Every structure is written in structure tokens, then in C-alpha cells.
Structure 1
Amino acid sequence: MTRSFEKSNAANKRLHDVIPGGAHTYAKGDDQFPEQMAPVIERGDGAHVWDVDGNEYIEYGSGLRAVSLGHRHPKVLEAVRRELDRGSNFVRPSIVELDAAERFLATVPTAEMVKFAKNGSDATSAAVKLARAVTGRPLVAICADHAFFSIDDWFISRTPMSAGIPAEIGALTVGFPYGDLAATEELFRQHDGEIACLILEAATQHDPPAGYLEGLRDLAHRYGALLIFDEMITGFRFSAAGAQGLYGVTPDLSTFGKALGNGFAVSALAGKREYMERGGLRDSHERVFLLSTTHGAESHALAAAIAVTEVYAEEDIAARLHERGERLARGVREVAAAAGVQEHVVVRGRASNLVFATLDEDRQPSQVYRTLFLRELITGGVIGPSFVVSSALTDADIDRTVEVVAKACTVYRQALDAQDVNAFLGGRPVRPVFRKYV
């Protein structure tokens, strides 16, 4: 099928004229897609989306992993519509805030209190601030192997896009390697009495080494720091209770978002009562301005979060996400092997959170081969920066995806054999998000 991108390309130009980067999230920028093949989406339904040119796609990584139930999930929309008829924001807390908090804490029983916001950066930055207040220490230790924690200075200062951030602020963040307790302890020794917290994702593409999370918690506490889990991705997607529920390790603080609202804007800072109360009205310590967001308690978004937790419980969504991912991963690996590119097109990660790696002739990560692969997927009607599944995917969707991947792998093999991948690109390669210059 020949696909036209005429309207999308025109819309992309207009987007760049009025929005820096042409998108409100850098990961959605058209530089992340093959040139002249960056669809602008008009609508979505279930696991499918349609662009402004009328092209239909099977979608992966929906909303940057946020839409785990699929677009327009009926129970979520019903809850949202019900709240919209009641008003969305008031001068005092609405009863839905209480309902949402109690439902969240019942779903994530390792947390004792929760405060809602609109995006992940709000929550992670609040967690970092709270850890600094509790410990009286200045330094934040981030897992250097994990891709993203916040748009705020304490994290972005550590990336190539640190323009506008004083070096003094960047110096207050240090890094530790995932899975290496000895190296992390050495970091504590180097900065004795200065590290307020360790923040990391409990797991990404692989399960943590045996005893690692327990050891990291004990290490942090031994040196007087707090342990923070960033559960933006793992929350609900790994299990309804997050990675902390799956692996049985309770952090001091944790942050949730993405799948919590199934596309509606809601995030959460959760944690132990003794720390969370620092941001409240019942604690005798110096007050912490923890989170205060005008729209953090919009009733329709919190109603969406309540509906999501109910659907996860009623339909065992976490198990379905794993089953969908396992079927997809199995199919992709089979067709990659059949085309002789199994060492170049590699599916990685937990089944509910799959990513793909595109490796070159020397089996090194390659943006140009990623471009080729994405180009073939889009041409075949599959879109996504990853293979992260939603529960709305049907067997037919996955089977069709595998067919498209099979064709992509055949072209991939041709490019490897020709030793000239650029001839297959049709334009400039995709670019990494974090880079110093355009």
C-alpha cells in the first residue's frame, strides 16, 4: 500500500512554526522518525491510530507508554464524562480526590500516602526535594544507566542539553551504575554525609540481579539516604502495584504516572507517612512545599485514574500486557531469524515493556539502521518508537505486525549485504533526543 504523508508534512511545518521542536515532548519530535514520514495523528481507537492523511496504523508505545488500555477505553471515558458533568476544579478538594487517593493506596499497598500532580517531572522533583529536606543533604544520586527522570535542572544538567542551567546546580547531582552495590557504596564514601537520595527505575530491560534492590535499600539507609523508585514506566505496566510490588522491595518514596491515567494527565508521588507528612499540616518539622498544582486535582483526570485501577483489577491487565508482549516478541524473533538478522534486530525488555534494538554490521547500536527499520514499519502500517504493547492489541494486530516486521527484516538483510544502508533511507537518519546541537 502506498502511503501519502502530504498533509502530515504540511502540518509538521506548521507545528514547527508555532511550537518549539514541533511537539510538546521531545520524544515525539519528527526528528525521531524518518524524514517526510512523521505522521501527525488525527484520532485513535483501541490499538489503532489514523493520521491526517487518512493512513491507519497499529500503534505501539502509545502516548509514550501512557495508554496501556488502548485509546477510548469505554470504562475510562464513562468515568471521565461523569465527572465532567460535575465540574472539574474547585476552591476546595473534591470528594473524588479522597476516592482516588484511597483507591491508589489500596492498589499500591507499599505506599502510605499519595499526592497527585499532572506530569512525571512534578512528582520526581518533589520526591528529590522531600529527600533533601528530610536528610538536610544537598546531593542527589541518579542511576546513570537510566534514560530520563525529569525536565528539571537536577536531572537535565546531566545531559548534553544542559544549556541554561548553572554548573553549580549540575554539580549537585551525581551518578551511580545499576546493579553495582560496591560502586554505589564507594560513591557514598566519596560524598560522605552529602547524598540525600538514590533515585532509579527498579528495572528496565532486565530483572534486577538477585538481592540488588534489597541491598540498595539497605545501603541507602546505612548511609542516611532515602531510596526513591521512579515507577513512571514500571507502575501498572510491570504489575498493578508497580515494580515494588513485583519485586517485594519497598522504597521510601516512589513516583507514578503514564499508565495511571490511560492518557489523561495524572501523576503521583507516594511514600512512607513519616516523610510525606513533611509536606502536610500535621508535622512539627520545618514545612516542605511539596507539591501545589492548580490542576493536579482535576476531577476528570482522577476519575480516569480510579477507572484504570478498577479495570486493572477486574481484567488482570498486567497479565494481559505480558501475554501480548510475549506473543509479539516470539513472532518478531522468529521472522528476524528467518531473515538472518536475529543479531541485528533484537527485541529486549520485559514482555509488557518491549523495546527493539537496531544494530549495524558490527552489532553496534545504529541510528541509520533504526531509520531503515522505522521506515519499513511505517510503510507497512505499524508505528511506534518501541514495541511497548497495550491491552487493546488483538491477535490479528500482532500477527499483522509480525508480517510487517518480516518484510522490514528482509530489507534490513539487503542493506547489511550491500554494506550501504544509506541507500535505503530516503532521507536523513533519526536523531537521539539528547544532543547539544540540532
Structure 2
Amino acid sequence: MEHEPGRRDFTRSNELQARLHDLVPGGAHTYARGADQYPEQMAPILVRGSGCRVWDADGNWYVEYGMGLRSVTLGHGYRPVLDAVAGAIADGVSFSRPIELEVRAAEDFLNLVPGADMVKFAKNGSDATTAAVRLARAATGRTAVAVCDQPFFSVDDWFIGGTEMNSGIPAETAAGTVRFRYNDLPSLTAVLNSGAIAAVVMEAATALHEPEPGYLHGVRALCDRYGALLVFDEMITGFRWSAGGAQAVYGIRPDLSCWGKAMGNGFPISALAGRRELMELGGLRTDRDRVFLLSTTHGPEAGALAAFRAVARAYTTTDPVARMEHAGELLAAGVNAIAADLGIAEYLQVMGRPSCLIFVTRGPDGAPSQAFRTLFLQELLERGVLGQSFVTSAAHTDADIEHTVAACREAAAVYAKAIDQGTVEGLLVGRPVAPAIRRHAAPRRLGV
């Protein structure tokens, strides 16, 4: 029987979402979590999770992908992490002096990331990346920053000034950050030729782009030649490519690296790590002008440090990356086979590293389409699959993948119908999703 949208009840979620819009700008505390990233009136408000499954305020359950914006690799409610956190916070959470956990967590981190000599913990990824930029500027005496043409590095002005959502950021601040292209050494050389670049900030790899042979070694050599610091953003690659991040996979030692997301399996913790001679500029063993590196009230909070130690233990005693990759391989093969069977493989594709999959949705003209993406999201939601991507966790079992592939089979049939008729009209309920970072609230502006 042909699927009719609207079978699931989202009444309570919609009521809560409306209340959030009254209380919180944008209706969410993270733009990527916004209701404008989901089909209209189908943005679940979640109440709990277990493993890779989540439940919303209306009692609907879903197999979740993306897993807390890639921050949960071991699964929701992973007992060893919860037990470690509960044990730690029972003795207090925040103190006026360092606690022993800070020593042990730093040792654990540096054992996982042998290319780093020192580490400093914080709470958000942007804390770490902005500290890296500040440190690079101080170490080099330069001010400009070169960032790779990759999606996101920081909520702070030095990066957001170069995005579409740059209202309130001085033009001179934005002008201090320049772009270069990935897998393109001449592009980076042209930027470094100015002699003004303090730091080269990049992800060593992304879901869709692996470094070409020799590329990262070439980047390292160019940074050394021109006196810029190489900063790896390991927010996504850390604990998803390997416990030691992309730098361990590709054998490149950056000057500084920035970590977060999966470090705490969802608990808030991030880190700046790097070479001792650089990191010491923020310490008490330097005769140079000191760098205000990182100084956060909640960076050394006991619960998050305990969570990180439990995550580190899981990565040294088990193999979460292999389980994520196994689930991703099954999922990609299953969905892509369905698309091929329906004759829509050129329009609907699952792509990327198995532990960090995305789905690509194209319209009849072959161009990426927000409308067709929204239709696919809508059909998946109706069938118990939640996610803006197909990013897996170690908690995704073969049964969860089978459920997802079955849901994709029905969703893809609706997608094929839309391709055949050349439009989502009559199939998509409401307006399409829109980019999370955009200049105007339109095309998903809410009425006053």
C-alpha cells in the first residue's frame, strides 16, 4: 500500500518545539539541531536514548544516526561511562584547585595521541580551535589564518566572519582569515606566499575526501617552509577515524591539534594538544610574553574528565571504530543496492568513510536538492529512522541496520516516484529544509 505521510503523531513534539521558539532563539541551542533542518511539523523532541535508539515526547522510537552531532560513538547510556561519571561526581564536581583526575585524564589523552606533548582541556570545540589560533599568532608574530575549504571550525569571529551568517562581525576581523582548497598544494602555497599566515587550520580528512598520496606531507613541508603552524581539527576524525585521530591514521604530526565531540561519548569536553615548546607559552616555564591560552571554569569538571577516561578505556580494550565501520559498510551497501534496483542510483547515494557516512540527495536535474533531501528525511522519520546523515556508532547492531535498510527501501520508492514526476509536489509536506548557517531566516522563517 502506498505510504501516506503523517501516520506518526508529533503533537507533543510540535507543542514543545513551539515553546522552544518562544524561549530560545532559533528553537534550539545548536543551529544543526534546529527544526529548520527537518521536515515541517516533524522535528521530534527527544526524551531519552539507549544504544543507538531514541524516543521522542510522543512515544515514537527511532534508530538514530549522527549520534549527537557525531559526539556519541559508544552509544547512548553506555554503562561504563555513566558509572565512571556517577562515581566521580559523587565526590564533587568543581573545585578551587586541580584534582587528581586532571593528571590521569591528561596521561590517558597523551597515551592515545603520541604526537602531542601537552594537553589542556576545555568544554567546546571552539574553545580549542580559537586557543590554537591565538597561540599560533603569539608564536609566529603574525595575525592571518588560513583555513581549508571545509565546513566548520569555530563559532568565534575569526571563522564565522567568513560565513554567510556574519552579521555583527567586523570586516577587518573577517579579512584576517583566508581560504585554501583541500588536496591542492598550489592553493595553499599561494596563500602562504604572503608571509602573513600564523596558522594553517584544516581537517586531515573528511567523510568524503581522503588525502591524496603525499598531500598531507606536502602541507607539513609547506608550513615548515613558510613558518606557519599546522593545526589539525580532530573534532570529527578523533575517535571516529581512530582513537589517535587522523594524525595517527595518516602519520602526520601537526604542531597543534583540537579535539572534542566523541571524547566524552556525549559529555562536554574538548582539548587543545600540541608540541611542548608551543603549549608552554601559556604556562609558567617561559620567559616570553605569556599567551592567554585557555582558562575555563568548567574545563576540568570532574564528570567530563571521568567520562573521557572511560571512553579512553573503551578504545584501548575494545574496537569501537571497527564496529562503526562494520555497521556503515552494511548500511551503505544495502541502501545503494536499493537505489540501483530502483534506477535512482545517480540521485540517491550513500557515500563517505564507513564510520562517517552521509547521504546525497539529488533532484531530476542531477543537482543536490534540499526539497528531495527533505522528502527522504520525511519518509525515514515515518519509518523510525532519525538522522541528517548515516553516521553510525558502535551501538548500531546488524538488526538496527536491517531496520534502516528496510525503511530506506520504502523511502526510496517514494523518492523514485518524485524523480519520475520531476517534483516532490504532492509527496512532501511543508517547506524544504535550509542550510543551518545562512544569512536570512527565509526560506524557513517563522511567522510572528
Correspondent of 1:291 among 267, 289, 294: 294
User: Residues 46-125 of structure 1: matches in 2 within 5 Å?
Assistant: 46-125=51-130
- AA in 2 matched with 1:66: S
- Give the Cα–Cα distance (whole angstroms) in 1 for the partners of residues 158 and 335 of structure 2: 38
Kindly report which structure 2 residues correspond to 1:314-353, keeping only aligned pairs within 5 A, or say none.
314-353=317-356
Determine what percentage of the aligned residue pairs are the same residue: 57
Secondary structure of 1:185 counterpart:
helix
3-state SS of 2:76 partner: coil
Whether the 8 Å CA contact 1:22–1:29 is kept in 2: the answer is: yes
Distance in 2 (CA, whole Å) between partners of 1:434 and 1:107 is 33
Say whether the 8 Å CA contact 2:347–2:360 is kept in structure 1.
yes
Question: What CA deviation, in whole Å up to 9, does each residue of 1:305-362 have, x standing for no partner?
Answer: 0000110111111111111111111111111111211111111111101111101112
In structure 2, the partner of 1:36 is 41
C-alpha contact 1:339 1:406 (8 A) present in aligned 2: no
1:303 maps to a residue whose letter is A
Secondary structure of the corresponding residue to residue 352 of structure 1: coil
- Aligned-partner Cα distance in 1 for 2:400–2:321: 19
Tell me the amino acid that sits aligned with residue 72 of structure 2: V
- The RMSD of aligned alpha carbons is 0.8
* Equivalent residue letter for 2:267: F
Residue 431 (str. 1) matches residue 408 (str. 2): no
Deviations 1:27-63 (A, max 9, x none): 0000000000000000001100000000000000011
2:445 — aligned with what?
none
1:154 to 158, 172, 178: 158
Contact 1:368–1:422 (Cα < 8 Å) also in 2:
no
CA distance in 1, matches of 2:323, 2:286: 42
CA distance in 2, matches of 1:211, 1:140: 23
Matched residue of 1:353: which SS? coil
The aligned counterpart of 2:175 is 171
Unaligned 5+ segments in structure 1 are none
- What's the TM-score once normalised by structure 1's chain length? 0.98
Q: Find the partner of 2:234 among 219, 231, 241.
A: 231
Match of 1:221 in 2: 224
The size of the alignment, in residue pairs, is 435
Matches within 5 A, 1:172-187: 172-187=176-191
| Offset of residue 404 of structure 1 | 0.5
Task: Give the distance between the partners of 1:280 and 1:274, measured in 2 at CA.
Answer: 10
Distance in 1 (alpha carbons) for counterparts of 2:257 and 2:425: 44
Conserved? CA contact 1:349–1:355, under 8 Å: yes
Out of 195, 201, 204, the residue aligned to residue 202 of structure 1 is: 204
Instruction: Give CA deviations for 1:161-183 in whole Å, capped at 9, x if unaligned.
Output: 00000101001100000010011
1:376 to 360, 374, 379: 379
Query: In the alignment, which of 270, 274, 287 is matched to residue 273 of structure 2?
Result: 270
The structure 1 residue matched to 2:397, chosen from 394, 401, 406, is: 394
Aligned residue for 2:186, secondary structure, equals: helix
TM-score (norm: length of structure 2): 0.96
CA distance in 2, matches of 1:228, 1:347: 30
Partner amino acid, structure 2, of 1:174: V
- Give CA deviations for 1:139-190 in whole Å, capped at 9, x if unaligned: 000002x10000000000000100000101001100000010011101122x
Structure 2 residue runs without a partner (length 5+):
1-5, 442-448
- Retained in 2: the 8 A contact 1:111–1:270? yes
SS at match of 1:24: coil
1:300 aligns with 2:303: yes
